[in-house]
Structures are given as C-alpha cells and as structure tokens.
Amino acid sequence: MSVIGSVERVGQVLDLYTREQPEWGVTQVAARLGVSKSSAHALLSTLSGLGLLHRTPENRYQLGWRLVALSRVLLEGTPITQMARPVMERLVHEFGETVHLGALEAGRVIYLEKLQGNRAVRVEMTGVGAELWAHSSGLGKVLLSHLPESEVRASLTWRGLPRFTPSTITDLDELLSLLPQVRAQGHAYDIEEFAPELCCVAAPIYNHASAVVAALSFSVPAYRFYESKPTYRAAILEAAREVSERLGFVSPHPLEAAWTPH
C-alpha cells in the first residue's frame, strides 16, 4: 500500500470511533474496512504504539491519550477560539444562554468552545472536543452550506442521517435543497431537530481569505426561542460578523446580504 493509502486507512480507523461506539475489536475493524484480520491487527497495533489508540486487557482498542495532548495543542493554538471567546462571553453575559463555537471535520461538527449562561438549559451532549451530527444542528447546516454539493453528498452518504426527534431531516435530498437557502441568508436553525425542547440559531465565521472556517450558535430552550427568535438571530449574526472581522475578514459587496437578518 502507498503512503497516501496508508494515511487514508488511518483516517478511516479513527473515523470509526464515536460516542455510541468508543471501542472496537480487530474482527469488527476488518469487516468495517473490508480488509483482512491480519491487516487490521497490524494497523491497530501500529496506532496503539503511536499512542493514537489504546489496547485494553481484552485486546480491544479505544482512542489513545495522545489525542488529548494533540487536541490541547490544536485548541490553544487556534486563533478562532482566541478571537471568539470575548464575543461569546459578551453574548452569555447579555442573554444568559449557551453559546457554541464549532468547526466541520469530515462531515461532523467539532465543538471548539462552549460557554454556558445562568439562564441556560444544560446541554449535556456538547462540550469542547465533542462531536455532533451536522445534519441535525444549526452549526452543521451553516458549515455544510459552504461546501460543494458533491462533498456534502459523499460525506453524509457515508455517515448517514439518523433521526433524533420527529423534526430531524433524514432525507439527504431534502437537506441538500435547504443548504443554498442557508448559505444565501447567512444563518441556519435547529428547531428541536437534535433534542426535544431545544432550538439553535447559527451563523458562519469567515477568515481573512473569505473562507468559512467555523460557526457560532445560540442553544436556547424552545419556549424562549420561539418568543424571541428574531432577537437571537440578530445577535448571533452580529457576533459572527465581529469574530470574522477579528480574523481579518472584509465583506465584499456580494456577501453583505449574508449578514442581514431575514
């Protein structure tokens, strides 16, 4: 196997790990990746030796502690988090709600920062380093809307669109038809799509090269969200604009509409 092929295989192994399945055996990995048991064993053993995986006494494999150290380096060295935190703190102080900062990685939302206010409902499934299904979140929809359709289709076909509530979008074509509207209006909602009685509104963060690199969101109890939806939307749009400008973004004329609340 080529070097590139080996690296891709490593990525496929790491992508297997989720909250729902944090531990894998050699036979399972071999079946999932379509390789022999000996190849799967060699790959898992190598990753374990590098500290990226940890072998349990039962000869199964979990993620390794080296990933924690690497994630700390990443988060502490990421300017997005540093630039966003003061803006997030101001939002939490003003509204008392939970504010999230997230980025997209291989079709998943990765939380880079989370601040919880004194009025906020506790959102247990989120936290720094946690992952969320992109199709069921405001953050995910905003971030997906700035990717080519082919990339979105390939990623979500691989991962699937599981249903979490009766409001979850589980049809890929339906989601794809929504994304151009999300991109045009510059924000996206999660209306009780991931958890009952919880709503979100999210807006994109641009860098100096006008590329979307992250997104910012409010997570609000449904009854408060429905009462003040335009207020939350306007606040998150303005906050995302401020973080983008801190990253050097200068909005050209065609993108001005993306910052205008609808």
Boundaries of every domain in the chain: 3-65, 78-259
pLDDT tens across 136-193, in order? 999 999 999 999 999 999 888 878 899 999 999 999 999 999 999 999 999 999 999 9
Give buried/exposed letters for 133-148 (b at 16+ CB in 10 A, else e).
Answer: bbbbbbbbbbbbbbbe
E-only strand ranges, 116-155: 131-133
- Count of residues for the chain? 262
Calculate the CA dihedral of residues 130, 177, 236, 83 and round it to 10 degrees: 50
Superfamily of domain 78-259: GAF domain (3.30.450.40)
DSSP code at position 155: H
Q: Which residues contact 59 (CB under 8 A, 6 or more apart)?
A: 25, 26
- What is the structure's pLDDT at 95? 94
List the CATH code of the domain at 3-65. 1.10.10.10
Whole-model pTM: value is 0.71
- What is the structure's pLDDT at 254? 43
CB contact at 8 A, 55 and 24: no
Q: Is 2 helix (H, G, I), strand (E, B) or coil?
A: coil
